[in-house]
Amino acid sequence: MLTNTEHSRYAKTYSLPWNAVNWTGGIWADVFKTCAENTIPHIRKMFESKDISHVVENFRIAAREKEGRFNGTPFGDGDFYKWMEGAIYVACKNNDEKLLKVIDEYVDLISRAQLDDGYISTKQIIGEMNNEDVSRLGDINDFEVYNFGHLFTTACIYKRLTGKDNLMNVAVKAANYLEKTYQEAARTGEVKTAVCPSHYMGLIEMYRTTGENRFLDLAQLSITLRDSVKNGTDDNQDRIPLKEHEKIVGHAVRSNYLYAGVADLYAETGDSDYLDMLNKVWKNLVEQKIYVTGGCGALYNGVSPYGNFWIDQKVHQAYGHEYQLPNITAYNETCASVGSVLWAYRMFTIQPEAHYFDIIEKTMLNVNLAAISIDGQKFFYENMQRRAKKLPFELCWPLERKEYISSFCCPPNLARLLSETSEYAYSLSEDTVWLGMYGENEAQIELKNGASFTLVQKTQYPYCGKIHFSFKDANSKAFKLNIRIPDWVESGSISVNGNVVKEISVQDASTYYTVEIEDPSKSDITVYFDMPVRFTVAHPLVESNTNQVAVERGPIVYCIESQDTELETLDDLMLKIDGEFTPVEYEIMGRKMIALEGEAWRIKRDSYNPEKLYQPMKFKGLDQVSIRLIPYHAWDNRGFGEMKIWLPVAIGQ
């Protein structure tokens, strides 16, 4: 979700204008093109179908243009707004007048569906029309406020990118309705948590877009009221007062949206208690509860590890204990990984440290891209870390990507994130450009100190560690370029006009190095990060990964699929502890990438029965087998088979 912190009092960086950066090559240019040409049209088709999602039909019924009953998920309205956000961005980036006309027609439809008092949620509006037993804001799992929040965000995007007020008018009326609701809750003390609280970010963005303080006040009130919830739960992060949070708990999407919204609030108000809390919870996430791919929210269903021992508190798609990171049953809902990017970016704006973009880049390049097929038309709801040949139990979501999922919240969330990837390339402060996610692009930059120039980035990153920067159309004003050295880097160099100004060592990982640009027209910068293949081990309490390694190169996590070895099962595969892999060019479904090829061990067994729970170990030695590893984000594009990220290691005979 685009956010504008340029005038936020406690933000230290802000984003470029939406049209300032364009990918000119590489993986992100390909992803944006696929999103625009395939993903946005595909999701629209799903939402337009009465027999698949019924989402647009619900709006038409609510607007009294069709007869019928509500059908589909209660959060379908919000998911449609998310799709609109991505579609708006794509249409404006591509000057797609046809798509903009379609979006404008949807805006008019939403306006006609909204009630005079500002309320808008199709499930309840249709229920009231049909004299059904429905209530407004009575059941938090009806997701009305979640729907409101995504409406607010999309209205801000539409206003900023097109200058039009029509959707903002709808959002303002809805916010007015919400304001009365929260003021009444504050008066009576009857407070309910809004699940997946997108409205915190949405309201603060309305404040930033309109300049009206009442939207910031409403966001602050809605966050403060969380502490008045009776019988709160860890699943909704309202069991204890917000400022007392020290660990990340419960439903991962709800957590990440909550803390992203609180980070937005801090950027405007500077409440240090909130910042202290955010730092504690963030540390708990990234040091003890995140997957190597950036996935988060490990559990399908369970019980909160922090609640009252005698009163079990159920959690769903949730964070569990520290280091509780299973592979086959890894949940990692796609919306949670989208939410973690939104949260990490907001943390960067208030305390710009390279670490936050390390997480953003890891998450975007691995779990977020893995959640969508290379052709942009199939999706994972959850993101497993291992797929077995068969399971003796059934998981609630498909083991392969699907064109439509009954809970269709993740695809439009991905669509808006992937359409907006250029927003994560650079951030600005007074006289400084901060490098975020690397990729080939051109950016038109104007700094507040008067420097103006076009920054040209040439690179094959993330598959090559060489990144070249040059400048054109520059005035004579000096500025600073803050070069992000990722957390995986152990060696490399930074050169200016052919002269090495910085030899990079492991101590520089996850830091920024500042290059002073005195004359942009005569400045030529080359950054080189060495990209050896590396074996990564997990903390010993991550039991699923004991005596195993993950293979990484640069920011990319690799995996192996059945298609990349002659083995009957990947369970017979062990990596050589001193094994070497060669990077090779490879292509899957038309997308070029770097695969890794090398030799591994095949376990030779005697009378082994894979169906038995326990049996004597009868090991007959190891023999060599050739394997190929592919980027995790490219898996499940070549048919069903086994997949593993974590592999055991062995010393040869």
Residue matched to tokens 């309490």: 541
Q: What is the band of 577 on the pLDDT scale with cuts at 50, 70, 90?
A: very high
Is the same domain home to 69 and 214? yes
Residue 14 lies in a domain: no
* Cβ-based neighbour number of residue 162 at 10 Å: 17
- 311 confidence band (pLDDT: 50, 70, 90): low
- CATH number of the domain to which 226 belongs: 1.50.10.10
Q: Domain of 516: which CATH number?
A: 2.60.40
Q: What is the 3-state secondary structure (H, E, C) of 394-426?
A: CCCCCCCCECCCCCCCHHHHHHHHHHCHHHHCE
DSSP 3-state assignment of 477?
A: coil
pTM of the predicted structure, to 2 decimals: 0.97
- Could you tell me if 60 and 189 lie in one domain? yes
Of 121, 148, 149, nearest to 62 (Cα)?
Answer: 121
Confidence of residue 308 (pLDDT cuts 50, 70, 90): low
Report pLDDT for 440: 98
Return the percentage of the chain with pLDDT > 90, whole number. 91
CA distances from 261 to 32, 200, 359 (A): 26, 5, 18
* Average confidence score pLDDT of the chain: 96
In-domain check, residue 1: no
Specify whether 489 is located in the same domain as 545: no
Which amino acid belongs to residue 361?
Answer: E
Shared domain check, 90 and 78: yes
Q: Same structural domain for residues 524 and 551?
A: no
pLDDT number for residue 133 = 87
Range of weakest confidence among 208-222, 241-255, 297-311, 341-355: 297-311
Can you give the pLDDT at residue 426?
A: 98
Looking at the fold, whether 395 and 441 belong to one and the same domain comes out as no
Q: Give buried/exposed letters for 292-305 (b at 16+ CB in 10 A, else e).
A: bbbbbbbbbebebb
**Contact partners, residue 191, CB within 8 Å, separation at least 6:** 185, 225, 226, 228, 229, 230
Mean pLDDT of 309-337: 90
**619 pLDDT higher than 90:** no
pLDDT grade for 510, boundaries at 50, 70 and 90: very high
pLDDT at 58: 98
- Predicted local distance difference test score (pLDDT) of residue 349: 98
Is 9 inside a domain boundary? Answer: no
Q: Are residues 616 and 488 part of one domain? A: no
Residue 314: pLDDT above 90? no
Q: Is the pLDDT of residue 418 over 70?
A: yes
Higher pLDDT, 260 or 308: 260
Same domain for 517 and 636, yes or no, is no
* Strand residues in 304-393 grouped as ranges (E): 314-319, 386-387
Average pLDDT rounded to a whole number, residues 110-132: 97
Q: Would you place residue 309 in the very low, low, confident or very high pLDDT band (cuts 50, 70, 90)?
A: low
Based on the fold, state whether residues 457 and 365 are members of the same structural domain.
Answer: no
**pLDDT value at residue 305:** 83
With respect to residue 15, please indicate whether it lies within any of the assigned structural domains.
no
Amino acid 533: pLDDT: 98
Confidence at residue 296, expressed as pLDDT on a 0 to 100 scale: 98
Residue 192: pLDDT band with limits 50, 70, 90:
confident
Residue 628 domain boundaries: 533-650
**End position of a domain, from candidates 529, 546, 579:** 529
| Residue 454 in domain | yes
pLDDT for res 310:
57
The string of pLDDT tens digits covering residues 546-562 is 999 999 999 999 999 99
Q: Which amino acid is at 225?
A: L
Q: What is the pLDDT of residues 53-107, one digit of tens each?
A: 999 999 999 999 999 999 999 999 999 999 999 999 999 999 999 999 999 999 9
If asked whether residues 494 and 445 sit together in one domain, one would say yes
In a domain, 499, yes or no: yes
User: 76-93 vs 410-419: helix axis angle to the nearest 10?
Assistant: 20
Domain end call among 529, 561, 595: 529
Average pLDDT over residues 150-173: 98
Specify if 407 maps to a domain: yes
Q: How far apart are CA 127 and CA 120, in angstroms?
A: 12
Percentage of residues of the chain with pLDDT beyond 70: 99
Rounded to an integer, the average pLDDT of 129-137 is 91
- List pLDDT tens digits, range 14-30: 999 999 999 999 999 99
394 and 440 inside one domain:
no
pLDDT > 80? residue 653: no
pLDDT at 486: 98
- The whole-number average pLDDT for the span 353-377 is 98
Number of domains the chain is built from: 3
Helix (H, G, I), strand (E, B) or coil at 280: helix
- Same domain assignment for residues 326 and 416: yes
Instruction: Check if the beta carbon of residue 404 is closer than 8 Å to that of residue 79.
Output: no
Show which of 375, 396, 424 is a domain's final residue. Answer: 424
Predicted confidence at residue 258, as pLDDT, reads 98
Q: What is the pLDDT of residue 138?
A: 85
- In the predicted model, is pLDDT for residue 306 greater than 90? no
Concatenating the DSSP letter of every residue in 35-70 gives IIIIIHHHHHHHHH-TTTT-HHHHHHHHTTSS----
Please report whether residue 575 resides in a domain: yes
Q: Two tokens at 77?
A: 């309205």
